[in-house]
Amino acid sequence: MTYAVAVRLQRGLAFAADTRTNAGIDNVSQFRKLHFWRRTGDRVHALLTPDANGFSVSCILGGQVGDEAPRLFQIYDEGNFIEATDDTPYLQIGEHKYGKPILDRVVHPEMRLGEVVKLILLSFDATLRSNLSVGMPIDLLLYERDTLDVRRVRRIDENDEYYRKLSNQWAEALRAAVASMDEYKD
């Protein structure tokens, strides 16, 4: 399986995908699912593809062409598509359910790219803990609006300092939040 997510912000686009592909639990390998193309100063496109072994071949395509606004699309198996908007700024493919609640609650189109990366990585963290078919490392691409270039691409593995810190802080914050709430009484 796969987990991949992209977000369309006023400041640009963020793309992230895991890298696990599996054909059975004893046949697991690593596979790049984030791809991009650019003609610097003219256009940038990024594509998130699912695991080649998945049943669904939906993918996410986004980018910017010239002085048009950046756009982001989810293209379904059948060839039809939806486009991200301010109302629904993010799109997901693959094992999207574990990591959807945190995105539903917090993502909004005015965020900075560095802020949305927090949410994307927390969304991955929830998914990675609960589903073995999604695996590190995570490929990340941040596109800053109107740069018409790809300058921020990064592969985040288990030992990434920022990811580990984020994951630990989050676990701690959730436990503290749960503990601070009143217990249920009849």
Q: Is 98 in the site for a second copy (CB under 8 A)?
A: yes
User: Which residues does residue 46 pair with via DSSP β-bridges, in sequence order?
Assistant: 36, 62
Judged by DSSP in three states, 116 sits in helix
Peptide bond into 109 cis (omega under 30): no
- In the list 18, 51, 95, 139, the residue contacting a second copy (rule: CB under 8 A) is 95
Q: Is 139 in the site for a second copy (CB under 8 A)?
A: no
**Stretch in the footprint of a second copy (CB under 8 A) among 35-43, 47-55, 67-75, 174-182:** 174-182
Q: Is 152 in the site for a second copy (CB under 8 A)?
A: yes
User: Which residues does residue 21 pair with via DSSP β-bridges, in sequence order?
Assistant: 29
> In the complex with a second copy, which residue's Cβ is closer, 23 or 173?
173
* Token digits of residue 145: 């609006």
CA distance 60 to 74: 4
Nearest distance, CB of residue 66 and a second copy, angstroms: 25
Binding to a second copy, residues 2-31 (CB under 8 A): none
- In the list 27, 78, 80, 177, the residue contacting a second copy (rule: CB under 8 A) is 177
- In the list 26, 67, 87, 182, the residue contacting a second copy (rule: CB under 8 A) is 182
CA distance 120 to 107: 9
Q: Is 185 in the site for a second copy (CB under 8 A)?
A: yes
Own/partner pairs for 39-46, CB < 8 Å, 24+ apart?
40/148, 40/149, 41/148, 41/149, 42/66, 42/148, 43/148, 44/143, 44/147, 44/148, 44/149, 44/150, 46/6, 46/13, 46/15, 46/141, 46/143, 46/150
**Stretch in the footprint of a second copy (CB under 8 A) among 36-44, 49-57, 77-85, 102-110:** 102-110
Nearest distance, CB of residue 104 and a second copy, angstroms: 5
Q: Is 82 in the site for a second copy (CB under 8 A)?
A: no
Residue 147 CB coordination number (10 Å): 15
User: Which residues does residue 159 pair with via DSSP β-bridges, in sequence order?
Assistant: none
Binding residues (CB under 8 A) for a second copy: these are: 95, 97-102, 104-106, 112-115, 117-119, 121-122, 126-127, 129-131, 142, 152, 154, 162, 165-166, 169-171, 173-175, 177-178, 180-186
